[in-house]
Amino acid sequence: MASIADTAAPRRFRIGQTDLIQKIAIATALILFACALFAPLIAPYDPLAQSLLSRLRPPMGFDRYASGHYTGTDELGRDVLSRALYGLRLTLTLAFAGAVIGLAIGGTLGLIAGLRRGWVEDTIMSLVDMQIAIPFTLVALLILSLFGSSLTVLVLVLGIAGWEQYARIVRAEVRKLGALPFIEAARAAGAGPVYTARHHVLPNIVSPLVVQFTLAVSNIVILESTLSFLGLGVQPPQPSLGSMVGLGRDYMPTAPWIVLTPAALIVALTFSVQILGDWLRDRADVRLRDR
Amino acid sequence: MIPYLLRILVKAVVTIFAIVSVTFIATRMSGNPIDTFLGDGLTAEGREELIRYFQLDRSLGEQYLAFLRGALSGEFGLSFVDRRPVTEVVAERLWPSAQLLLASVVFTILVSIPLGVLAAIYRKSWVGSAVMVIAFAGYAVPSFILAIVMILTFSYWLNWLPVVGNGTALHFIMPTIAMSGVLIAALTRFTRNAMLDVLGQDFIRTARAKGLGEARVVLRHGLGNAGVTVISVIGLQIAGLAAAGSVVVESIFSWPGIGQLLVNSAIGRDYPVLQFGVIAVAVAVVAINAVTDIAYALADPRIRLARS
Amino acid sequence: MFRLMLTTAIAALPYAASAQEITVGAANMAPYLDPGRDHSNVGSQFYYNSFDTLIDRDHTKLEPEWVPALATSWELIEPTVMELKLREGVKFHNGDDMTADDVIFSLNRMMQATFPPYVVRAKDRLGNFTHAEKIDDHTIRIHAEREEPLWETLISLQQVMIIPEAYTKALSGDPEVAEDSDYEAFALAPVGTGPYAIESFQPGEKLVWARFDDFWGDRAPLARVNVVQIAETASRVTALKTGEADIITNLAPDQLSLVDSDPNLKTEGSATALFHVMIMNQNHPKLQDPRIRKAMSLAIDRDALNEALWLGKAVVPSSHTMVEMGALHQPDLVTFEYDPERAKALLEEAGYDGFEITYDTAATYYTNGLLAAQAIMEMWAAVGINGKVQVRDKWSGNDPEMMARNWSNPMYFADPFGSFGVMWAPNGPSQSEGRFNTDADYAEKWERFRFSTDVAARKEAYREVMERVKDDPAVLPLYRPFESWGMKQSVNWAPMPGHIPYVLDFRAGSISLADS
């Protein structure tokens, strides 16, 4: 998914000039982050607490509404809203963890590829090519179905999902910078590669990495949700947004709120984070903006 | 050109070999088919007997060599579960997947190229904005949510569309749309950008200056030139979409495709089916990538030179 | 029973054409069809329409009433030998006449099994039979090792349904010899004598039955039946609503109102002759003290599970017996009960220090299985047990690390031997998987229960076996799940009390279609 986003949109685009959409999206993203952060304070109920006597109750405003369960209860009488909030928290935590791992792996390899030429660079770049070529969702599914869905395996899989984008960005920036006079100067002055990387390269690639990181969070949210939807990601009773949709789909015709509440959150999250990423790209990329 | 082709071919073979070997080892390290699909109600002797019967008592190396020998002579073995040749099991799943893929590619092209062109022409008005919001939505809405909301609406509430299998043309509508979301988003954005590029170039200005109508300028000159890039992008995207997006859609719509088969045989540790299925998908993906590479090279001599 | 995990999708779902054709949307389609080797809940749906046993029973009745099938009469000529007269003029679906040789072949492929999947099945239920022998073209004898109290019951098992000898042997390799590969090929192209021939079979996807005109008994009421797998529950219900399917299987209680509220549709269901059970590992280092396992069992309010998850339609048993078992059904025997106070006291006595007890379940296989697992964790928490659900699609019953998990004990035939007995015999599957122990005393009680010819003696011995289970529990039957089928109003079909679980019986008298 990450690869499609990037190959298809080689340069920024903006939603016309409608900054209002961007403002709304950014506000939404911030609210969702806050909800995830403060889920234990906001959630009206314990997300795991069951009440077998009030199962499958509809949201506020419908018949048989169980007071206090604003978006209804699920098949074990748990509060859907509380589960969705905790699910959002877990989903975002996983997405950040995955994005950080991807950044660490990809950033390191990209830096190495950029600084060291020759076979090292060739090897790393053919790994990048392979990663782009293979359908990663399928690979992730196979890994999880073979090795079981522990949180560790899941986080690793999510981390591997997008490393190649960071590697490409870092390598490209490093090579571009490498040709610039001040790096040459530093090198001539006897600075080692590590010193060069830390003091000259890193500060210059922070902004493209921030943009990529944001987009990666959105992509990983989709990947995690998809895996959990298929029952191969987060395992019950722990809720993630995707697993709530996956487990709730049997109740879709009778109790659609179980599915629609987390589904709405997923869409709101990915949509707003994508636009946030785009906005960051516009802000960060001075050269592009001025062109 | 020849060395370049050779390089692609060697790379493809090495890639497939690596993928298959990794799959082989990973499956055998991760569990035992007897415990998974013949699980309960087995006595200990019965279990031993079945392990011998499926030849799983041999060492990993022996099994691997036997597998390679078989593969070289075109023998990929029998499914552990239904004991049919895996080539047959996999082959009957490839066509439905290919059909669905084809349907979504056609659908994507029909939707995205007009949308992308519109977005480029009207980039300063609300039309362009609306189109790009749709493109964003394609990324943001995961296919399983799209699928579920469609089923709820069109099958459950309205009773318009069937939800199970691939029997009739009607069966294609929802799976095709669910599969195409990401692709439409990507291609619309790409078409728009390619058009913007082309429309800014000199020969378009010349065409306009010659007094050609705007529609003709856009269609003949703009789209004609942007088209080359657009088509090559489709090629690149197909490979990824082919196997990945389809697993979700296939499982929701009970579509008898290859994605579901792979995941189910991984869960059930049906090694022979999984191995051959992975080979089939790997060959397809690698082949599409290679063809795209070659097409690029043919279209653009600079690439050919740069790579060889 | 643990599912055959390889559920797959269906190929095509034709709209039902004529009034004599129906489409069944099944939650699962079998990966192979061989009545001898199969004992899954998936496969048992399909065999009765295409295969016959020598002796059958009147399935409309709960009490066993044996009726002639491929054998027209039978008698015990010695306590260990039964002689059966075979029906004449019976044809297989491929046109072959059924002969005594076919019958001997079918029986001995199980009773003297060499093909490993047959060996496994033969041991756990047909172990007392040594062989079958041909006397003349229409007479055969079956020999038992010991006096057998369950002759008719065991001769009417799905595993000893009759298949054609020549056809099977010719499927692969040497046409004169029965090779393993013949049995494997048979499972993909099965042939029997029943009222419906299997016209096509796509493993895991689809099965088409066509009426067999040369059937020896009453003509099949349907010309054609398409069974297609629709794994997703919501899709199955939707398929019924859109008319893609005429009957759908495995409707969870929560979906009943949905179907019943549609004026064109209805549901039929019954408490299936099968227990969803919780098993506990007697040999797990932390669970060796029986008091802890007793507490795990006593803490579970099975009636509450029934009310909440099954709308009160399931049946909660007090011992491992069922009403189908006739004289051996013992409703007054209290082996399993709910007593949270005692559970707490036992935990206290055993010095339980709050260690985590895991409970494994597959994600979707057992209706309400995952829900019940999560609810049980709450009930455990209420008495102080620190439980944790582990969702694993792998069978963990043979894993020494397994502490507790769900399972089912189907009634393979109408006797405690056919349900509790198959799974919990000395040296049976539970013991050989290492999670259940027996000793000489248990074996002695077991032998009296299994082989006593006097029903009262068997009953008493079974009571003693249940006492042993109570004292050192390895299993708790949760309930008989209420299984439902959804169908169009025009379909007259319902599960019958004399069948084993899940059988889709479409024989004459079992199904009819109202003209619509």
> How far away is chain C from the Cα of B304, in angstroms, using its nearest Cα?
44
Question: Which SS3 state, helix, strand or coil, does residue A48 take?
Answer: coil
Q: Is the pLDDT of residue C137 over 90?
A: yes
- Nearest by CB: B27 against A1, A146, A229: A146
CA–CA distance, B80 with B27 (Å, rounded to integer): 14
Contact A16 B240 (CB under 8 A): no
Q: Which chains touch B (3 or more CB pairs under 8 A)?
A: A, C
Chain B partners of C123 at a C-beta cutoff of 8 Å?
43, 46
Contact B142 A270 (CB under 8 A): yes
Query: How many domains does one find in chain B?
Result: 1
> How far away is chain C from the Cα of A155, in angstroms, using its nearest Cα?
18
Q: Which chains touch C (3 or more CB pairs under 8 A)?
A: A, B
> How far away is chain B from the Cα of A219, in angstroms, using its nearest Cα?
8
φ/ψ of C383, rounded to 5, equals -105, 5
Residue C446: pLDDT band by 50, 70, 90 thresholds? very high
Task: Give the ipTM of the model, two decimals please.
Answer: 0.82
Q: Is the pLDDT of residue C208 over 90?
A: yes
φ/ψ of C215, rounded to 5, equals -60, 140
Higher pLDDT, B303 or A233: A233
**Helices H / strands E in chain B, number of each:** 14, 0
Q: For tokens 């050269």, name the residue.
A: A287
Residue A3 lies in a domain: no
Token duo for residue C463: 């009571």
- Nearest by CB: B30 against A147, A225, A252: A147
Within the 147-166 window of chain A, which residues sit less than 8 Å (CB to CB) from chain C?
Answer: 148-149
- Nearest by CB: C232 against B41, B254, B257: B254
> How far away is chain A from the Cα of C225, in angstroms, using its nearest Cα?
26
Residue A152 lies in a domain: yes
Question: Which pLDDT belongs to residue B223?
Answer: 66
CA–CA distance, B103 with B177 (Å, rounded to integer): 9
Question: Which pLDDT belongs to residue C1?
Answer: 37
Higher pLDDT, C90 or A14: C90
Contact B190 A130 (CB under 8 A): no
Q: Is the pLDDT of residue C350 over 90?
A: yes
> How far away is chain A from the Cα of B301, in angstroms, using its nearest Cα?
21
What count of CB pairs under 8 Å joins A to C? 54
Average pLDDT of the segment spanning B184-210: 76
Share of chain B above pLDDT 70, in %: 78
Chain A partners of C363 at a C-beta cutoff of 8 Å?
231
What CATH code is carried by the domain that includes residue A280? 1.10.3720.10
Chain C partners of B53 at a C-beta cutoff of 8 Å?
116, 180
Q: Is C505 on the interface with A (CB under 8 A)?
A: no
Q: Is the pLDDT of residue C44 over 80?
A: yes
Contact A263 B241 (CB under 8 A): no
Q: Is the pLDDT of residue B219 over 70?
A: no
Higher pLDDT, A282 or B231: A282
Q: Is the pLDDT of residue C363 over 80?
A: no
Question: Which pLDDT belongs to residue B296?
Answer: 65
Which of B30, B108, B132, B139 is the best substitution to test chain A (most A C-beta atoms within 10 A)? Answer: B139
Chain B partners of C180 at a C-beta cutoff of 8 Å?
53
Residue A257 lies in a domain: yes
Nearest residue in A to C305, CA atom: A52
> How far away is chain C from the Cα of B42, in angstroms, using its nearest Cα?
5
Contact C120 B37 (CB under 8 A): no
pLDDT digits over C283-299, tens only?
999 999 999 999 999 99
pLDDT digits over B156-165, tens only?
888 888 887 7
Helix (H) or strand (E) holding A236: none
- Cβ distance B6 to B239 under 8 Å? no
Question: Which pLDDT belongs to residue B108?
Answer: 86
Residue B39 lies in a domain: no
CA–CA distance, C392 with A232 (Å, rounded to integer): 10
- Cβ distance C210 to C199 under 8 Å? yes
φ/ψ of C141, rounded to 5, equals -130, 145
For residue A234, what are the domain limits? 39-44+65-290
Which residue type, as a one-letter code, is found at position C37? R
- Nearest by CB: C11 against B47, B155, B256: B256
Which of C8, C172, C264 is the best substitution to test chain B (most B C-beta atoms within 10 A)? Answer: C8
Q: Kindly give, in sequence order, each residue whose CB lies less than 8 Å from that of residue A187, ignoring residues fewer than 6 positions away.
A: A196
Q: Which of A8-12, A64-68, A164-168, C76-80 has the lowest mean pLDDT?
A: A8-12
Residue A81 lies in a domain: yes
Nearest residue in A to B187, CA atom: A8
Average pLDDT of the segment spanning A259-285: 87
Residue A28 lies in a domain: no
Question: Which pLDDT belongs to residue B301?
Answer: 52
- Nearest by CB: C395 against B36, B44, B82: B36
Q: Is A46 on the interface with C (CB under 8 A)?
A: no
Residue A102: pLDDT band by 50, 70, 90 thresholds? very high
Contact B145 A4 (CB under 8 A): no
Within the 251-310 window of chain C, which residues sit less than 8 Å (CB to CB) from chain A?
Answer: 252, 254-255, 257-258, 304-305, 307-309
Which of C5, C248, C254, C365 is the best substitution to test chain A (most A C-beta atoms within 10 A)? Answer: C254
CA–CA distance, B243 with B265 (Å, rounded to integer): 15
Residue B93 lies in a domain: yes
Residue B244: pLDDT band by 50, 70, 90 thresholds? low
Contact A274 B136 (CB under 8 A): yes
Contact A245 B144 (CB under 8 A): yes
- Cβ distance A135 to B243 under 8 Å? yes
Residue A11 lies in a domain: no
CA–CA distance, A224 with A232 (Å, rounded to integer): 9
- Nearest by CB: C234 against A55, A231, A250: A250
Residue B146 lies in a domain: yes
Greatest mean pLDDT among B56-65, B227-236, C254-263, C332-341 lies in C332-341
Chain C partners of A148 at a C-beta cutoff of 8 Å?
392
Residue A240: pLDDT band by 50, 70, 90 thresholds? very high
- Nearest by CB: A135 against B133, B242, B274: B242
Contact A218 B240 (CB under 8 A): no
Question: Which pLDDT belongs to residue C11?
Answer: 34
Query: How many domains does one find in chain A?
Result: 1
Q: Is B159 on the interface with A (CB under 8 A)?
A: no
Residue B230 lies in a domain: yes
Contact A231 C252 (CB under 8 A): no
Residue A29 lies in a domain: no
Closest to C275 measured CA to CA, from C418, C421, C474, C477: C477
Question: Which pLDDT belongs to residue A135?
Answer: 76
* Whole-Å CA distances, C303 to A95, B250, C383: 41, 39, 17
Question: Which pLDDT belongs to residue B221?
Answer: 65
Q: Which of C21-30, C124-133, C387-396 has the lowest mean pLDDT?
A: C387-396
Nearest residue in C to A75, CA atom: C371
- Cβ distance A232 to A139 under 8 Å? no
Contact A231 C363 (CB under 8 A): yes
For residue C403, with 0-12 CB atoms within 10 Å meaning exposed, 13-18 middle and 19 or more buried, which class applies?
A: buried
Q: Which chains touch A (3 or more CB pairs under 8 A)?
A: B, C
- Cβ distance B286 to B114 under 8 Å? no
For residue B189, what are the domain limits? 89-307
Average pLDDT of the segment spanning B149-173: 86
What CATH code is carried by the domain that includes residue B208? 1.10.3720.10
Q: Which of A273-282, C126-135, C313-322 has the lowest mean pLDDT?
A: A273-282
Chain B partners of C17 at a C-beta cutoff of 8 Å?
none
